[in-house]
Structure 1
Amino acid sequence: MKKIFVRIKDLTEMKLRGVCAGLSPEKRVIAIIVLAVLFALGNFYMIFRAIYDIGREDARREVIEIAPLDIPDFVPADTLSDRKVREMEEFFNQFNK
């Protein structure tokens, strides 16, 4: 797959070099300026069109409202016995020493 892209790139490069080799330096500068202006115009059109579409009424999308989740309390906090809590504290305290 990589070889195909390399061959396409090389072929395109050779074709462009062939086209540009026939141009005089003045025509090359004109071609570059024309292409840069066309690119800039396309770029500005896309930017300003996106900014314009932000505020349009028909471009607004419906906002989906999500109700807050009600998470049930499956395990009450006081289900552990005091003995189990002490065992757990002793277990974790041994790592702090």
Structure 2
Amino acid sequence: MIRRIVIKIQDWTEDKLRHLCGRITPEKRLAVILVMFLVFGITSLYIFVSAIYQIGKNEGQRIEIEHIDGLKLQQKDSINQFNFNNNGREQD
């Protein structure tokens, strides 16, 4: 069911794109492709350069690791029955 819906959406999108691209001239298609290539190329370079810049930014800082404290349980807990064996009676 979902697969058929996805296939219908893909087919509809492909038909619309083919219809839109079929209307423009080959020179305009080339211009659109070059603009898209330029935009994606500049975005890729920006991400690459910013990632390299971020590598050495935190070099002087170290991550501090702390130990986890033990969990404090209640004295009369249903899980902790073996430590307090009073069989449900109140102790004086």
Q: The TM-score by the shorter chain falls in which range? A: 0.5 to 0.7
Return closer, same or farther for 1:9/1:61 CA change in 2, 3 Å cut-off: farther
The Cα shift of 1:64 comes to 4.9
Identity fraction in percent: 33
Who is 1:63 aligned against?
Answer: 63
Give the whole-Å Cα distance in 1 for the aligned partners of 2:9 and 2:61.
41
Matches within 5 A, 1:11-50: 11-50=12-51
Any runs of at least 4 consecutive aligned residues in structure 1 with deviations exceeding 4 A, and if so which?
59-62, 64-67
The alignment's C-alpha RMSD in Å is: 2.6
Unaligned runs of 5+ in 2: 68-92
Q: TM-score, normalised by structure 1?
A: 0.56
Larger radius of gyration: 1
Give the whole-Å Cα distance in 2 for the aligned partners of 1:61 and 1:5.
48
Return closer, same or farther for 1:64/1:31 CA change in 2, 3 Å cut-off: same
Higher helix share: 1
Unaligned runs of 5+ in 1: 68-97
Give the whole-Å Cα distance in 1 for the aligned partners of 2:65 and 2:54.
23
